[in-house]
Amino acid sequence: MNQRWSNLLFAHWQFSADVVRKLVPACFDLDLYDGQAYIGVVPFYMSEVSPRYLPSLPWLSYFPELNVRTYVSYKGQPGVYFFSLDAANFVAVYLARTLYKLPYYNAVMSITEKLGKFNYTSKRNANQESLSPEPTPVGEADLVVSYCGKGSVFKSKSGSLEHFLTERYCLFTEFAGKVYRGEIHHRQWPLQQAEADFKVNSMLSPLGLEPQGEPHLLFTEGVDTVEWAIALV
């Protein structure tokens, strides 16, 4: 599947490993940086979604998306574990839940840009029962944030926190007691430092968490990606 991910904010908060361990299926090992776990809130704009070698579909291929994630490994392979993914496209959410076994939610979302600053809003819909035969309980999960990149574009160095948080090329999910992996290919992220003003952020509330302290912030104008179908591992 081809996709374009644009105008991303990587906002990460540090948590103790013990706290995050309780939230992640036991089949996965936590991937830690200097002994600490990180949970990220990542809003962006999804576009040009299409099967490989086929054109994108306007009614399915352009929408805001927002994910809440942490970092795990499975049998030694590092990857991303998603607590939730919100998208402003009912069909895309249904297909992602069904085909990718991921905890997608339908939400009312918008992203606008003015003078280089992005204004992003997301409000998760309360009723998700029609989206999946195994719906996940829904809690309040809203976001209102404005953000922008600042400074020069750079690529993260291996071993740095920026590299740890962004350079991830597979995802893992657990569904009905089975582990699935999805491969993701793209060029290295062109990053900038970022500024962000969170007016509302309850994205961690369904996890029973509240963000503490200042987040680690990064911005990127985006990359083109190729995603493979998930596979049982």
Is the separation of the CB atoms in 231 and 11 below 8 Å?
Answer: no
150 beta partners: 193
Rounded to the nearest integer, the mean pLDDT of the chain is 92
SS3 for 163? helix
Residue 57: predicted pLDDT:
64
Q: Is 25 helix (H, G, I), strand (E, B) or coil?
A: coil
* pLDDT above 60 for 20: yes
- Determine the pLDDT at residue 95: 85
**The residue type at 205:** S
pLDDT tens per residue, range 115-135: 999 999 999 987 665 455 454
pTM, entire model = 0.92
**CA 133 distance to own-chain centroid:** 23
Integer Cα distance of 162 and 166 in angstroms: 6
Per-residue pLDDT at 135:
46
The parent domain of residue 50 ranges over 2-232
Least confidently predicted of 18-32, 51-65, 148-162, 185-199: 51-65
Mapping DSSP to helix (H, G, I), strand (E, B) and coil, where does residue 130 land? helix
Per the model's pLDDT, the better-predicted residue between 38 and 129 turns out to be 38
Q: How confident is the model at residue 229 (pLDDT cuts 50, 70, 90)?
A: confident
**Coil, helix or strand at residue 165:** helix
For residues 34 and 53, the model is more confident at 34
Cα 126 to Cα 9, 108, 130, 131, 139: the distances in Å are 25, 11, 11, 12, 8
Instruction: Report in angstroms the alpha-carbon separations of 153 from 40, 63, 139, 146, 185.
Output: 21, 25, 37, 20, 21
Q: How many independent structural domains does the chain possess?
A: 1
pLDDT digits (tens, 9 = 90+) for 158-207: 999 999 999 999 999 999 999 999 999 999 999 999 999 999 999 999 99
Please enumerate in sequence order all residues whose Cβ is within 8 A of that of 193, keeping only pairs 6 or more positions apart, or say none: 149, 150, 151, 217, 218, 219
CATH at 133 = 2.40.400.10
